[in-house]
Amino acid sequence: METKKMLVAVIAFLAVVGGGVLSVAVYSGAPWPFFSTVDSESMQHEEHESALGIIDTADMVVIRDPGLVDIKCYVDGYNTGYRTFGEYGDVIIYYRGEGQNPVIHRAIIWLENNGDGTWSAPSLADYPSDLWSCVDGGVAVTDHTRLSGTFTMYSVGYAGKTVGIDLSMLTGSPSGYLTMGDNATTNNYFDQAVSISQGRLVSEDRIKAVAGFEIPWAAWLKLYLSKGYGYLEERVSNTLPCIVISATTFILLFAAAFILIDYIGLRREDENP
């Protein structure tokens, strides 16, 4: 009888896990593996700690096929109230180039190449004018469909960052997104202004996936084996205690489920002697 009860519990557990994996696969729409591990702190909102709902070092992120998602940039999100992972707009995973790991950063604003050295930013039409500026040769550019010179955004993100870029750096780039990590300490520039993706907007063909949701701490063991405990302790010192607490809770819940099955079985035996 005990063996039968244990078998029922194991089958129920496997059914729940299998159903969960299948549901995630359908939601993702991306080929296996439909997740991405996070090994840097560029999206963190706390310098040395992880937080639920934020993309942190050692998290695993379930990704979505970009063809299934209407990507909204930070400016779009600000205009509509749409947020993901603690900030306005969507987080995308994009290709950097041959032999380089993809980048998981937030899409900040879409720039359309006008083909004459100027850029159009349609989402700025509904964005507060005091949160951006554009200056070319000392002259303010106020037409968001004819941007040139230095483009600057103010009070961006949870830390109120000021970020700018000389649009002449983008000469030859196709239309695409300006992108940036959320971390206010390590990422104070657009990716396109530094070596991450210098001079190259993230065009649609460079987008590998869109971040769907996080699985907290799921990549901890992988990073521990590849980079060492010190690497993790420096970036997310609270992760190991969180894993221990979560694992203990899971074991207790599983034990409680087994006890409940046993209790139901005893009740039935009492009712049908």
Question: Does 115 reside within a domain?
Answer: yes
Tokens 């996080």 sit at which residue? 214
Write down the mean pLDDT value for the chain: 91
**Whole-angstrom Cα distance, residue 177 to residue 168?**
15
Specify the DSSP element, H or E, that contains 233. helix 229-235
pLDDT above 80: residue 244:
yes
Question: Does 73 reside within a domain?
Answer: yes
pLDDT at 99: 85
**Whole-angstrom Cα distance, residue 263 to residue 160?**
56
pTM over 0.85, yes/no: yes
Question: Does 242 reside within a domain?
Answer: no
For residue 132, the enclosing domain spans: 31-237
pLDDT above 70: residue 273:
no
**Whole-angstrom Cα distance, residue 102 to residue 214?**
17
pLDDT at 53: 96
Q: Is the dihedral of CA 147, 149, 154, 158 positive or negative?
A: positive
Q: What are phi and psi of 265, to 5 degrees?
A: -65, -40
Question: Does 180 reside within a domain?
Answer: yes
Tokens 């507060």 sit at which residue? 128
Can you spell out the DSSP letters for 256-268? HHHHHHHHHHHHH
pLDDT above 70: residue 6:
no
pLDDT tens digits, one per residue of 29-61: 888 889 999 999 999 999 899 999 999 999 999
For residue 56, which of 104, 128, 127, 110 has the smallest C-alpha distance? 104
Asked whether the beta carbons of 113 and 175 are under 8 A apart, the reply is yes
Give how many domains the chain has, as a whole number.
Answer: 1
**Whole-angstrom Cα distance, residue 212 to residue 169?**
31
State both tokens at 87.
Answer: 């900030």
Neighbour tally for 174: CB within 10 Å? 15
pLDDT tens digits, one per residue of 143-197: 999 999 999 999 999 999 999 999 999 999 999 999 999 999 999 999 999 999 9
Question: Does 267 reside within a domain?
Answer: no
State both tokens at 271.
Answer: 């009712």
**Whole-angstrom Cα distance, residue 181 to residue 44?**
8
Question: Does 177 reside within a domain?
Answer: yes
Left (φ > 0), alpha (ψ -120 to 50) or beta: where does 97 sit? left
pLDDT at 25: 81
Beta-bridge partner residues of 83: 88
**Whole-angstrom Cα distance, residue 238 to residue 216?**
12
Least confident interval from 38-42, 98-102, 122-126, 161-165: 98-102
What percentage of residues in the chain have a pLDDT greater than 70? 92
**Whole-angstrom Cα distance, residue 49 to residue 59?**
12
83: exposed, middle or buried (Cβ count in 10 Å: 0-12, 13-18, 19+): middle
Question: Does 124 reside within a domain?
Answer: yes
Which has more pLDDT, 263 or 196?
196
* Overall average pLDDT of the 56-85 stretch: 97
pLDDT at 9: 64
Q: What share of the chain is helix, strand, coil (3-state, %, to 5)?
A: 40, 25, 40
pLDDT above 60: residue 1:
no
pLDDT at 255: 76
Rg (CA), the chain: 24
Question: Does 90 reside within a domain?
Answer: yes
pLDDT above 80: residue 254:
no
